């Protein structure tokens, strides 16, 4: 088509402008208004179950908003329901005929564990036979037998796999895989200044990966903590909407989290990427290879144990100039190298739309 040739010729100009205006995400969007006129369907749940209650899906919010920001026509699939293991009983073929066939279908790799997986796959096959490209995001893929089985399974049904775990072997076919530190982040993450943030340590989220031990150590050391770890019996700290969750990160100067459990069950959690983008200081337990994307001590502080967390936090509090510099470095690096416009530019390029 004519527009494919046009966008290929314009792509180099766009990337050059991005590099020149890399500090301002709004300028990035202005320069990326030449994306091809695509229709994208999201087979992602708008809500997910966390710690026993339903909350807004971060994956759906990020994919939908970033596509909306660059002017792409995006809609939620009629097969997407409130959480991963429910599916609307519709005839897949009739569903396709009743709606416009999307150029790209985006789906959650965790559907691999759904009881209705076969029905999802039938829908994917039908769309693919009609010319749609299939993108799968693997949000929590470990370097385990089960995790690698996910990759092998989705390779048979999709055109591109987005994954976020640098621990996964690097021999994967680059043309079919895209390694990215988290979900594509909308502009809402970047719009809060360092001076307005509170001088406290946010330790929020579930108690997975021994986070509760870090929390208890911080409490014993009398660190000024915001938030608390929750479980099924204590969900008062769970944010119902994704923006509420992001607001807590943006308004706090220091955030601790981790994605490490052992050498095989280790991932970069989404909160780490969101913190780095928001201009807060990330204190992150070593083991998840976050250094694949960011520089230790320049963009974030690696944490080895509880006493290391206490020592480094106290240092940051006493040296606010160092803290602000680390936060600024991380935010600038995120905007320049991992902004949503570049993410979609890579996706559309790999899927041969530009």
pLDDT tens digit sequence for 37-74: 899 999 998 887 665 677 788 999 999 999 999 889 99
Q: Look at the chain and count its residues.
A: 354
H helix or E strand, kind and range, residue 354:
none
At residue 283, φ and ψ (nearest 5 deg) are: -110, 110
Inform me whether the pLDDT recorded for 281 exceeds 60.
yes
Task: Report the alpha-carbon distance of residue 136 to residue 112 in Å, rounded.
Answer: 11
Q: Considering Cα of 312, then 313, then 314, then 317, what sign does the dihedral take?
A: positive
Q: What is the CATH number of domain 2-184+339-350?
A: 3.40.50.2300
Q: What is the mean pLDDT of residues 267-287?
A: 93
* pLDDT class of 255 with cuts at 50, 70, 90: very high
Mean pLDDT of the chain, nearest integer:
82
**pLDDT at position 87:** 40
The residue ranges of every structural domain in the chain are 2-184+339-350, 187-335
Give the rounded percent of residues in the chain with a pLDDT score beyond 70. 78
Q: What is the mean pLDDT of residues 178-200?
A: 91
**pLDDT at position 150:** 92
Cβ contacts of residue 324 below 8 Å, gap of 6+?
Answer: 194
CA distances from 223 to 37, 201, 209, 216, 271 (A): 51, 7, 21, 10, 20
Q: What is the mean pLDDT of residues 118-141?
A: 93
Q: What is the CATH number of domain 187-335?
A: 3.40.50.2000
* pLDDT class of 210 with cuts at 50, 70, 90: confident
* pLDDT class of 19 with cuts at 50, 70, 90: very low
The three state secondary structure string of 257-315 is ECCECCCCCECCCHHHHHHHHHCCEEEEECCCCHHHCCCECCCEEEECCHHHHHHHHHH
Cβ contacts of residue 170 below 8 Å, gap of 6+?
Answer: none
Total-model pTM: 0.85
- Would you state the structure tokens that stand for residue 51, as one six-digit string? 């710690």
- Would you state the structure tokens that stand for residue 178, as one six-digit string? 């895209």
CB of 109 closer than 8 Å to CB of 138: yes
H helix or E strand, kind and range, residue 253:
strand 252-257
Task: Please determine whether the domains at 2-184+339-350 and 187-335 fall in the same fold group of CATH.
Answer: yes
Inform me whether the pLDDT recorded for 338 exceeds 60.
yes
145 φψ region: left (φ > 0), alpha (ψ -120 to 50), beta (else) = alpha
Closest CA to 285 of 197, 210, 181, 205: 210
**pLDDT at position 327:** 96
Inform me whether the pLDDT recorded for 269 exceeds 70.
yes
Pick 343 or 12 by higher pLDDT.
343
Q: How many CA atoms lie within 13 A of 106 on its CB side?
A: 26
Torsion of Cα atoms, 277 then 169 then 348 then 16, to 10°:
60
**pLDDT at position 34:** 62
Inform me whether the pLDDT recorded for 92 exceeds 70.
no
Pick 315 or 113 by higher pLDDT.
315
Inform me whether the pLDDT recorded for 90 exceeds 70.
no
Q: What does DSSP say about strands 47-50 and 53-56: parallel, antiparallel, or unpaired?
A: antiparallel
Greatest mean pLDDT among 80-84, 96-100, 188-192 lies in: 188-192
**pLDDT at position 280:** 96
Q: What is the DSSP letter of 159?
A: S
Strand-pair partners of 43 = 107
Where is average pLDDT lowest: 91-95, 119-123, 247-251, 277-281?
91-95
Where is average pLDDT lowest: 117-126, 161-170, 223-232, 251-260?
223-232
**pLDDT at position 208:** 64
* pLDDT class of 93 with cuts at 50, 70, 90: very low
CA distances from 296 to 20, 51, 258, 339 (A): 25, 32, 14, 20
């Amino acid at each position: 088509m004519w527009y494919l040739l046009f966008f290929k010729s314009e792509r180099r100009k766009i990337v050059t402008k991005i590099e020149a205006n890399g500090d301002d995400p709004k300028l990035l969007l202005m320069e990326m208004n030449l994306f091809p006129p695509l229709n994208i369907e999201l087979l992602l749940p708008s809500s997910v179950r966390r710690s026993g209650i339903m909350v807004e899906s971060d994956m759906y919010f990020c994919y939908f908003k970033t596509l909306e920001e660059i002017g792409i026509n995006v809609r939620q699939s009629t097969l997407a329901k409130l959480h991963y293991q429910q599916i609307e009983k519709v005839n897949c073929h009739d569903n396709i005929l009743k709606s416009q066939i999307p150029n790209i279908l985006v789906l959650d790799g965790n559907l691999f564990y759904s009881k209705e997986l076969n029905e999802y796959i039938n829908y994917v096959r039908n769309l693919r036979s009609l010319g749609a490209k299939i993108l799968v995001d693997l949000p929590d893929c470990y370097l385990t037998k089960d995790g690698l089985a996910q990759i092998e399974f989705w390779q048979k049904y999709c055109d591109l796999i987005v994954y976020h775990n640098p621990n996964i072997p690097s021999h994967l076919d680059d043309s079919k895989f895209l390694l990215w530190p988290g979900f594509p982040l909308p502009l809402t993450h970047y719009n809060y200044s360092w001076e307005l943030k509170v001088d406290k340590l946010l330790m929020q989220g579930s108690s997975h990966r021994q986070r509760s031990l870090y929390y208890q150590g911080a409490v014993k050391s009398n660190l000024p903590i915001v938030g608390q770890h929750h479980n099924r019996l204590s969900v008062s700290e769970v944010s119902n909407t994704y923006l509420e969750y992001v607001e807590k990160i943006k308004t706090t100067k220091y955030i601790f989290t981790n994605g490490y459990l052992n050498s095989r069950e280790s991932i970069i959690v989404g909160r780490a990427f969101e913190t780095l983008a928001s201009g807060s200081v990330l204190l992150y337990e070593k083991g998840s290879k976050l250094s694949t994307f960011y520089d230790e001590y320049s963009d974030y502080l690696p944490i080895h144990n509880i006493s290391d967390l206490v020592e480094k936090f106290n240092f940051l509090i006493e040296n606010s100039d160092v803290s602000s510099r680390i936060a600024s470095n991380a935010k600038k690096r995120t905007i320049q190298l991992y902004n949503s416009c570049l993410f979609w530019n890579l996706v559309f390029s790999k899927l041969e739309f530009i």
